[in-house]
Amino acid sequence: MNQALLVVEDDADLRNALEDTLSLHGYDVASATDGSEAIARLGKEQFSLVLSDVQMAPVGGLELLQHIQQKHADIPVILMTAYGSIEQAVQAMQCGAMNYLAKPFEASELVSMVEQYLRTAPADELIAEDPRSRELVKLAEKLAQNDLTVLISGESGTGKEVYARYLHKKSARCTAPFVAVNCAAIPENMLEAVLFGYERGAFTGAQTAHAGKFEQAQGGTLLLDEISEMDPSLQAKLLRVLQEKQVERLGGRNVIDLDVRVLATTNRDLKSAVNNGDFREDLFYRLNVLPLVVPALRDRPGDILPLARSVLARSSNGQVCEFSSAAEAQLLNYHWPGNVRELENLIQRAQVLADGSMLDTQHLQFEADARVVYVDIEEETHAEIANLEERLRAHERELIFDALRQGDGNRESTAALLGISPRTLRHKLARIREEGLAIPGN
C-alpha cells in the first residue's frame, strides 16, 4: 500500500498490538513512545497518518497534534484516549484531529477508521460492469437530478459511500462541498456538536465557536454514514433540522438557514429497526424518500474481476501485475462476505506474497487463511501474531475492569469513564461473561 503510519503510544503492550494489527492489514507501521519521539520522527521520515494516544508524558497527544497542524498540516491525525470525555474530544477536533477513538475499542474499529482516511481507491470511482450495477447507476443518475433525501442501504463494504459521492458528482451541487459524517465512529456524547456546531462556552472545553457539518456542507451534500447507529435522542433533533431546514448551534440562539442535500447510508434493515423500537419511524420516512439498495458483491459477479483489476492497478507501485486464469476463477467462485472491502484487502495481501508480476491461487489468502500466511512469512513473529486478538481483548478487559472499580460497579459511570455508551458497555460485559471471567462488582 506504500502508506506509512506512525503509532504513538506509551503502553508498550498496546503499542505492539496496534502495530501488529495494522501491519496485518498491509500498512507500513512505525512507532514512538511519546509525543517528543514522534516529533523527532516526523522531522526525518514521511508518514501518511498519525495514530496517537492523548495521555502521555512529557509530550502528550494534544501537543503533538498542535505541532503536526503547524509543521505537517497535510498529515491526518487520529487520537486515542482511555479518558473519553467530550472536553478532550472537542479540543482535539478544534485543533484539527480527523477523528477520535475512545479506549477500549475493537481492532475492527481501528482498521475501519484508518481505512477511512487512507483509502487507496479514488473517492468517486464507480465500477459497474455487472448488469445489476449498470441498472443501479442509471437509477442513481436519475436520483441525482433532484434535491430529495436518498437512503442508501446495503451490507457493510458494498460501496455505499462511493454511490453517495457519485450522486453528488452527478448533481447540480457538484461544485459545492461534499461532507461525510460517520455516525458510528464518533462517540455519542459529541456527535451532536459535530453535526450542529457549537458556540464558545456551550460546554466545558468549547473555547471557540465551531461550525457543524450541516453548515460546512452549505450549498452541497451532507452524507450521514451509518445513520442507524445514531442515538434515539439525537434522531429527534436531526428530524427537526431536516423538516425545518434550519439549525441552531449548541449554546447558540441564532437560527441558521440550510441549503443542504442530505444522503444517508445504513447496513441494517431500518424498517425492522423501526418495528423493534430502535429507530424513529418519522425519521425513517423522512430519510427514505428515494431508496437506493446496493447489492452484495456476490449478487453482482460481473463486478468482481473489474474491481480486482482496478485495486491491483492502483496498488501495484508501478509494477506490471496480473491475475492467472486460475486465480480469476477462484475470485469468481468465492462468496465475499466482506464485499468490496474484503476484496481490496485480499488483493493487497496477495501483492505482498507475490514474487513476480503474476498473482496466482497460492497468493490469494482469503480472510480465514490470512493469519497462516503471515506466520509462514515470518516465523519469529508466530507467537505475537497468533495471540494478537487475545492481547487486544485482554487489554480491553483490563481497561473495563479498572473503570468498573473506579465507578464502584455503576454501569453508567463506568461507560462515561471509558467514553462509550452504556449499551456498548453491556455488550462488552456480556462477551466477557461468555468467556467465563468474573466481573468486578458482581
Gap between the terminal Cα atoms of the chain: 46
Q: Helices 411-418 and 422-434 sit at what angle, rounded to 10 degrees?
A: 100
Of 340, 336, 322, 329, which Cα lies nearest the Cα of 367? 336
Q: Could you tell me if residue 123 is inside a domain?
A: no
| Number of domains present in the structure of the chain | 4
- Residues 366, 335, single domain; the answer is yes
Residue 275 is predicted with a pLDDT of: 92
Mean per-residue pLDDT for 364-373? 56
Q: Flag whether pLDDT at 416 surpasses 60.
A: yes
Beta bridge mates, 282: none
Of the candidates 13, 2, 119, 9, which has an alpha carbon nearest to the alpha carbon of residue 64?
9
Ordered alpha helix ranges (H), 96-200:
107-117, 131-143, 160-169, 188-196
- C-alpha cell, 293: 439498495
What's the pLDDT score for residue 318?
53
Q: Which amino acid is at 359?
A: L
Q: For residue 306, is the peptide bond before it cis, meaning its omega torsion is within 30 degrees of 0?
A: no
- pLDDT band of 429, cuts 50, 70, 90: confident
Query: Looking at the domain assignment, is residue 237 inside a domain?
Result: yes
Q: Are residues 214 and 163 in the same domain?
A: yes
Choose the weakest-confidence range: 96-105, 230-239, 269-278.
96-105
Query: Average pLDDT of 48-60?
Result: 90
One domain for residues 141 and 266: yes
Q: What is the pLDDT at residue 424?
A: 74
Q: Is 70 exceeded by the pLDDT of residue 307?
A: yes
Residue 44: inside a domain: yes
Q: What is the CATH number of the domain that holds 46?
A: 3.40.50.2300
Closest by CA to 4, choosing from 44, 34, 36, is 44
Q: What is the pLDDT of residue 409?
A: 80
Note the pLDDT of residue 366.
77
The answer to whether residues 97 and 148 belong to one domain is no
Name the band, by pLDDT with cuts 50, 70 and 90, for residue 2: very low
The region of weakest confidence among 119-128, 274-283, 431-440 is 119-128
Taking alpha carbons only, the member of 35, 74, 109 closest to residue 420 is: 109
Domain that holds residue 107: 4-117
Measured CA to CA, the distance from residue 382 to residue 296 in angstroms comes to 34
**Secondary structure class of 229 (helix, strand, coil):** helix
Residues 311 and 316: their CA atoms lie apart, in Å, by 8
